[in-house]
Amino acid sequence: MKVTETIPEETIKIDASGIYYRELNARLRELAQNGARKIELHNVYGQRYIGTNLNRPVEVTIFGTPGNDLGAFMEGPRITVYGNAQDGCGNTMNDGEIIIHGHAGDVIGLSARGGKIFVRDSVGYRAGIHMKEYQDKKPILVIGGTAQDFLGEYMAGGTLVLLGLNREGHHKAKFVGTGMHGGVIYLRGNIESYQLGKEVGVAELGEADRELLARLVGEFAAHFGYNADEILKHKFIKLFPLSLRPYGRIYAH
């Protein structure tokens, strides 16, 4: 006997008003396990960890303000937020995508190990702190606006792009790349050397850099309705770690 399984194609809508985060995330898990492909969450006000532990390529669209650690440990889903994200967005995420039509708070993409995050506007402190990579797992964080201090702090891998589309002149962030020992930051515009961590080098973009950047800016522009060519016309610089093993000598003797 042949068993056929119907997979719900339609969008499932949930009114999240007053639903505690554990219950909300349990419902999302159940829906994803039952094969739901598209879920819309309305009236989201601060529920934490949305998208964690779904482990399937489900599309979750959020209207409102999701709580801290949106997409923490995420593995596969695509989350789109029509609103601002709070702190800890993409905490240790492994795979999937987060697209924020607004701004994000502190430590976005902290310890991310894979997946992509696109933010239309600006981000708070310590964006991309300790992102890391291994072989083909390379997290990506693209920020349309600017960032506050400690961008890419202790960065160990992955790619961070800062576009500054909402401002003129130099970014104001200080301590950029402090403790950086892996990965790369592409920054549209320029930055003074005092704004950089001691571990950071500045270079022109090479051919491989330009290809990667064009692809990421293309995706960013498609998400938020920008013209990628216009964005790419502007000068970019590349920030990279001067050493991949800054403390190696300490342990040698």
Partner 1 sequence: MKELERIQNPYNDDKAIDACSIFGAMDTSGKRFSGKGVIRAIANMHDRGNGLGGGFAIYGLYPEYADLYAFHIMYLSQKGKEDVEAFLKEKFRLTHAEEVPTQPTPKITNPPLVWRYFLEVGPQKPEEEADDDYVVERVMEINTKFPDAFVFSSGKDMGVFKGVGYPEEIAEYFCLEQYEGYLWTAHGRFPTNTPGWWGGAHPFCILDWTVVHNGEISSYGINRRYLEQFGYHCTMQTDTEVVAYAVDLLMRKHNLPIEIVAKILASPLWSDIQRLPQREQTLMRTLRQVYGSLLLNGPFTVIIAHHGEMIGLTDRIRLRPLTVGAKGSMLYLSSEESAIRLICPDLDEAWIPAGGEPVVGSLKAPLKTPVAAKEMVSHVD
Which spans of this chain sit near partner 1 (rule: CB under 8 A)?
21, 29, 44-46, 48, 53, 55, 64-68, 73, 75, 82-84, 86-87, 94, 101-103, 105-106, 120-122, 124-125, 145-146, 148-150, 166-167, 172, 174, 194
Bridge partners, 13 (sequence order):
40
CB of residue 209 vs partner 1: minimum separation in angstroms? Answer: 26
CB of residue 183 vs partner 1: minimum separation in angstroms? Answer: 22
Closer residue to partner 1 in complex, CB, 166/227: 166
Of 103, 97, 73, the residue nearest 85 (C-alpha): 103
Closer residue to partner 1 in complex, CB, 26/242: 26
Q: Contact 213/239 with Cβ under 8 angstroms?
A: no
Closer residue to partner 1 in complex, CB, 86/111: 86
Closer residue to partner 1 in complex, CB, 76/218: 76
CB of residue 121 vs partner 1: minimum separation in angstroms? Answer: 5
CB of residue 253 vs partner 1: minimum separation in angstroms? Answer: 31
Give the whole-angstrom CA distance, residue 158 versus residue 70. Answer: 19
Where helices occur in 34-62 by DSSP H, the ranges are none
Q: Contact 159/140 with Cβ under 8 angstroms?
A: yes
DSSP 93: -
Q: Which residue has the tokens 């669209």?
A: 61
> Which are the contacts of 21, defined by CB distance < 8 A and separation ≥ 6?
47, 48, 49, 50, 67
CB of residue 84 vs partner 1: minimum separation in angstroms? Answer: 6
Q: Does an H or E element contain 12, and which?
A: strand 11-15
Give the whole-angstrom CA distance, residue 203 versus residue 190. Answer: 11
CB of residue 197 vs partner 1: minimum separation in angstroms? Answer: 12
Give the whole-angstrom CA distance, residue 80 versus residue 237. Answer: 29
Closer residue to partner 1 in complex, CB, 125/220: 125
Closer residue to partner 1 in complex, CB, 34/166: 166
